[in-house]
Structure 1
Amino acid sequence: MRVLVTRPENQGAELCSLIEKMGGIALHQPLIDIQDNVQLVVDDTLLQRSDIIIAVSQYAVYAFQRILIHQQLSLPSSCIYLGVGQKTAHELSKLSQQNVNYPTVSDSEHLLALPELAEVSGKHVIILRGNGGRELIHEQLCELGADVQYLETYQRRYLPLKPDALTQWRTMGIDTLIVTSGEQLEFLLSQVSGPDLSWLTQQQLLVPSERIATLAMTKGFNNVTNTQGASNSTIFAALQRLEIGLNNDQQK
């Protein structure tokens, strides 16, 4: 198995290490760079009156923690805290010193199904995120009558591919791609055309949710696996299942 990992920063490097320990070959090709949103000024009144705070990623929590320290702010104790995934919830729990619930499947749809979001009319909700993404959460909570505000705690900067990137991937025999957001998938495909695009869409693609899997199939991918979560452990488990399946096919 030869895997292209597009996760940014330490998460991508960690996943590559797991793949190599499994005996696979991994190439780390981040599609985005993440930086704290130093322009964000948090309204403490808005923060303290919030009823629900939702973190959509670990990056949102890490950046928020640094912003709180810099602006000498504290989090409310009488507030419901939610994370899109287990790791995000764990980091938010450490920051808030509160219990943080999360869905069993790490995506927006399953987060919205949590009981804490069943009755939100008139509630003040803060969503911790980067510059864009997770609009479904905002839209649905607003439709249910909540007052929803974004705090964009970090900024994503897209990283263009080098001119010879596709040649390198093909030479290495990359057969599996890992892309963890719809925005990153769209960005990747926007830089590829012609025979390279045809080759790319023939490879095995792993994505973290059904929504992104559907998007990928509309873009021409035929071999798409929904890992049902974006944590490295969940993605790695999906890779292991694929590897076992490929090995069994070869032995038949």
Structure 2
Amino acid sequence: MQAPLNTVDPTEIAKFEAMAAEWWDPNGKFKPLHMLNPCRLDYITTQIAGEYERDLMAQAPFKGLRILDIGCGGGLLAEPMARLGAKVVGADAAERNIPVAQVHAAQSGLAIDYRHTTAEALAESGEQFDVVLNMEVVEHVADPLGYLSACKTLLKPGGLHICSTINRNSKSYMMAIIGAEVVMRWLPKGTHEWSKFITPEELYDLLGQAGLTPVDRKGFVFNPITWSWSLSPRDLSVNYVTASVRPA
């Protein structure tokens, strides 16, 4: 199935354009992502190392791998991938995110190819990667299947796709919208739309329709007592992540 030329939702892009300058403030509007990032990186690096038989204790374990971080924002995931030796392309449909990411990468001494573009445009140009990171994006696009189909096209045969999103149930509404946007005020009101959240079963079905083979899923679980995130093989009730591969 051919992906549509553009699955970008302009309303969603405008939300993140307005917050672009705060990407690297750990106490700003992206505080939830800063808190979640170590847990996300644990999952991502473990999956990549397993798929490509890399030793994470080695120097530059991802050397030789080309990684796309789609919806890269300010570079919270792109920079660690570059530090691990990968050649990284960071792409975002929100134009104001790109200079923020470029400046921070330069300050950090990292060479990352940041682009203001979409998954569909990259796929149409023939770009391909060993790994596509698709984190907290699919719930913001206008056409999830079209978007995931573009992500599949961007993978080399045998390549790894890692996708995280938010489950759709009463608990996710209370935690991701009421808790994060209203009570804690970590995010501006309206950042998320509960109706666009995707259940794990729905995401697995979409991944299969897009031509990807799901191989793993885990939950990201927040502990309000320790104020920290952890991975869970069973609790996918709010935030969760999946790994899938493009058949060789």
Short-chain TM bin: 0.3 to 0.5
What's the TM-score, normalizing by structure 1? 0.36
Q: Which structure's CA Rg is the greater one? A: 1
Q: As a proportion of its length, which structure holds more helix?
A: 1
